[in-house]
Amino acid sequence: MFELDKKEMVIRYSAIGFVLGIVLTVVEYALLLYSRETPFSFSAIALLHHTHAAVYLIDFLAIPGFLFGALIGNWRHKQLDSLSEKIRQETGKNEEIKRFTHALIAGDLNTDVSLKRTEQSLSDKLHELKDTLSRNREMERQRRLDERQRNWISEGLAEFGDLLRKNSMEIETMTYSVISGLVRYLDANQGAIFLTVEQEGDPYLEMVSCYAYNRKKFPDRRIAWGDGLIGAAAMEKKGYYTDKIEDGYLTITSGLGKANPGYLLIEPLVWNDEVFGIVEIASFNQIEEHKIQFVSRVAENIATTINNLESNLRTEQLLKETRAQADQLLVQEEQVRQNMDALKLVQEEGARQAEIFISFTNTVNHTLMRAEYDPEGVLLYANTRFLKKLGYSGNREVEGKHISMFINEKDQPWFNALWEKLAKGGRHFEGYMKHETKLGQDLWTMATYTGVRNDEGNVEKILFLAIDSTEQKKQSIDFEGQVEAIDQLNAKAVFSPDGKLQISNSLFSKSFKYTGMELEQMNVFDFFGTREQERFNEIWENVIQGEAFQGQLKMQSKFEEPLWFRATFLSVNDMYGEVEKVIFLANEITKEKEMELASRKQYEKLIRKEEELRLASLDLKKKLEGTNSLREQERVKFQKDIQQYIHVLEELPFSVITINNLGKVLFFNRHAEKRWKKKQKEVIGSSVEILFPGKNRSDVISGFIDPARSKTAGIYKDQELEIAGQFSEKQTLMVIRTDLKEELLYTLVIL
């Protein structure tokens, strides 16, 4: 607004007043002459002056007009000066609002606005808008930070869950994969995993994996339970995070040298209140709270995996041992059966040989070893078979020799006692007898020493008859050793067909905790509980019918404790093919069975845990839905807050247009309405192209209205703007980009 000169304005209005006074004078004269019906002329006017002296007053009307014009000019100057001052004030206020608004649009929330005290309400509103935008920005920043941290934890848990599943069969590979992944994911410098190990009942922590500076390190530490920070964390079952680390506690070594870490995180691997190990992370940088929480949740998953791995390994080992014992028991049972059959054959063969010895004395020398001794033990006669078996070529080598030459030195004490009884007329001897051949080898015989008496009843000589049973005896000794071994490894008992216990070994009585006297009165059914007797009755009926049983049985001890056996019931027939007895052989598997049941319970527990995890995921989904609802409420609140900002933009003295990333107009202020001569309801929701229909657009306008082109925020000066088919003067344009979570907004400000 240009400045008006007061003198010039007074002169202008005075001149106008003077002219108006002259015009009024002429009009007055015209009216007077018209009333007299006299034509207007100067002579008529002069005549009026002569006839009426008062007419001279009309001649001076120009002077009051001049004075009145001067007064009006002075008043008008004052009015315009006051208006100019108000315009300057309004312009300054608008410039201040414009500067403040530009600062807010540019993201400068530290700016301030200075208005007069009379504009305090508007100033307060603008400051309130700035505070609201500042709070919203801080809330949005915190929300995005929290969301990034949650996403970081969720992605990390998913990554390490997959890592644990892939490496869940081998402890060393799994621990190294986890600790190397943790160090990289946390952007730390060094990490290690210690596992709990027991030695002679004392637990300690042993490092199994170590990773530092993107390289695998060899574990070389062992820490006693409760010793140091790691031992204390294991004992207390609590994590530990500190930035106060003693020099030398843990040195991080790289190719450039050594340094003491600034921050240390120790987290125990706890599952079901049992400590499986420790995770130790060292870093030069501070470890944030959400990373500590993440390590704690990963540690719990590691403990769960180690627990499952150890459980699976124990179960697998027990199954292997159980199968091996079952196979061994089957082999032993088969050997016992074969040995018993062979022993039975040997006994039958011995009986037949004894009958032949008694019945066919004429063929003794051809079938039996025969020798005769005097009571002093001197050999009197030996047949060819005797000599041949003992390795001598003829009687001259043995006749007249003492019997001790055929007996091993170790056997002579008991044999001398036997011979003394025979020489005195004692009872004859029948049984196995071991001799020593000429070459010092053992010769086992089924022998008989019988005293031959004279008429006076005294022993005249002693007759020796025997058959060679060396191979059978060796086999019998082997069988006896095997039976003894079976007795030591298996509970053994023999029952009559009606179930009465006949004999049992010590392992049988020890397993069932009965004394020898108590076992004498017991029946096979007494070793089974009420629930198991019905099934065992069927088994027993099949066994005494000749059908062997082999499998697992649940029995009970003297104190009704449950006992599990891998048992065999085998019937033995007599010479008539009838069941003479039933042999019971068993290997106790109570502990293995309990572990099998425990393993089954553990598996069921894992199934329940899986269901709990599924329910937890549903609960997490509900929480996420609640979070989305909360975000929607925040968005609505943000929209309400932004309305205040929109109200201010509506009153700005320049055009503002806001579109979305599809090119639809979302905001069109009043100044823009005046510039385009279009109402908001005609523009909002329509394509922005209706505001710039021409083809001769600037590059800034073309990029702004084209959804496919990128829009660069900034201020562009001296831009030609075509509106309603006409180019306006060059304008300064400002493009602002607003990045919302749901969409992108672009604002064009024409300054």
Both structure tokens of 182: 């943790």
pLDDT at 260 over 80: no
End-to-end Cα distance, the chain: 19
Do 306 and 175 share a structural domain? yes
The beta-strand segments (E) located in 213-256 are: 215-217, 222-224, 240-242, 252-254
Q: Is residue 112 part of a domain?
A: no
Between CA 445 and CA 607 the distance in angstroms is 68
Q: What pLDDT was estimated at residue 366?
A: 67
Q: Is residue 152 part of a domain?
A: no
* Cβ neighbours around 169 below 10 Å, total: 10
Q: Is this prediction's pTM over 0.95?
A: no
For the segment 40-46, the average pLDDT, to the nearest whole number, is 75
Which residues lie closer than 8 Å to 330 by C-beta, 6 or more apart? 550
Number of domains composing the chain? 5
Residue 265 sits in a domain whose CATH number is 3.30.450.40
Q: What pLDDT was estimated at residue 252?
A: 46
- Note the Cα 71 to chain centre separation in Å: 95
Q: What pLDDT was estimated at residue 255?
A: 40
669 and 652 in contact (C-beta within 8 Å)?
Answer: yes
The last residue of one of the domains, among 566, 588, 610, is: 588
Which tops the pLDDT comparison, 488 or 228? 228
DSSP 8-state code for residue 566 = E
pLDDT, tens only, 680-707: 888 888 888 888 877 767 788 888 888 8
List the domain range (segments joined by +) for residue 236.
170-310
Q: Is residue 494 part of a domain?
A: yes
Q: Is residue 146 part of a domain?
A: no
Reduced to 3 DSSP states, what percent helix, strand and coil does the chain have, rounded to the nearest 5?
A: 55, 25, 25
Do 49 and 11 share a structural domain? yes
For the segment 402-416, the average pLDDT, to the nearest whole number, is 85
pLDDT at 527 over 50: yes
Which tops the pLDDT comparison, 631 or 277? 277
Q: Single out the residue of 444, 340, 438 nearest to residue 390, CA to CA.
A: 438
Between CA 492 and CA 480 the distance in angstroms is 14
Both structure tokens of 505: 């070994």
Do 410 and 371 share a structural domain? yes
Q: What pLDDT was estimated at residue 389?
A: 82
Residue 734 sits in a domain whose CATH number is 3.30.450.20
For the segment 544-562, the average pLDDT, to the nearest whole number, is 87
Beta bridge partners of 659: 665, 746
Do 537 and 470 share a structural domain? no
Task: Using a pLDDT cut of 70, give the percent of the chain over it.
Answer: 85
Q: Is residue 603 part of a domain?
A: no
For the segment 301-311, the average pLDDT, to the nearest whole number, is 79
Both structure tokens of 511: 């397993």
**What are the backbone angles phi and psi of residue 489, rounded to the nearest 5°?**
-95, -25
Between CA 337 and CA 455 the distance in angstroms is 51
DSSP characters over 34-58: HHTT----HHHHHHHHHH-TTHHHH
Do 442 and 537 share a structural domain? no
Which tops the pLDDT comparison, 143 or 193? 193
404 and 424 in contact (C-beta within 8 Å)?
Answer: no
Element (H, E) at 278: strand 274-283
pLDDT at 392 over 70: yes
Between CA 297 and CA 14 the distance in angstroms is 95
pLDDT, tens only, 234-257: 888 788 888 777 766 665 444 434
Do 538 and 470 share a structural domain? no
Do 201 and 73 share a structural domain? no
Q: What pLDDT was estimated at residue 749?
A: 85
Q: What pLDDT was estimated at residue 213?
A: 59
Task: Using a pLDDT cut of 90, give the percent of the chain over it.
Answer: 1
Q: What pLDDT was estimated at residue 361?
A: 52
Q: Single out the residue of 480, 377, 397 nearest to residue 437, CA to CA.
A: 397
Do 290 and 224 share a structural domain? yes
Which residues lie closer than 8 Å to 389 by C-beta, 6 or more apart? 369, 437, 443, 445, 468
3-state class (DSSP) for residue 678: coil
Q: What pLDDT was estimated at residue 641?
A: 60
Q: Is residue 394 part of a domain?
A: yes
3-state class (DSSP) for residue 634: helix
The last residue of one of the domains, among 570, 588, 606, is: 588
DSSP 8-state code for residue 528 = S
The last residue of one of the domains, among 413, 443, 477, is: 477
* Dihedral of alpha carbons 388, 390, 391, 394, sign: negative
Q: Is residue 647 part of a domain?
A: no
Do 434 and 517 share a structural domain? no
Do 566 and 515 share a structural domain? yes
DSSP characters over 374-416: -TT-BEEEE-HHHHHHHT-SSGGGTTT-BGGGGS-GGGHHHHH
Between CA 721 and CA 702 the distance in angstroms is 11
Q: What pLDDT was estimated at residue 115?
A: 62
pLDDT, tens only, 482-520: 556 566 667 889 999 888 998 888 888 888 888 888 888
**What are the backbone angles phi and psi of residue 254, rounded to the nearest 5°?**
-130, -175
Do 473 and 498 share a structural domain? no
Q: What pLDDT was estimated at residue 454?
A: 81
pLDDT, tens only, 331-366: 777 777 787 777 777 777 766 765 665 555 556 666
Do 521 and 466 share a structural domain? no
**What are the backbone angles phi and psi of residue 687, rounded to the nearest 5°?**
-70, 140
**What average pLDDT does the chain have?**
78
* Dihedral of alpha carbons 43, 48, 49, 55, sign: negative
Q: Is residue 636 part of a domain?
A: no
DSSP 8-state code for residue 526 = G
Element (H, E) at 479: helix 470-489
Q: Single out the residue of 160, 154, 150, 156 nearest to residue 301, CA to CA.
A: 160
pLDDT at 1 over 50: no
For the segment 46-70, the average pLDDT, to the nearest whole number, is 74
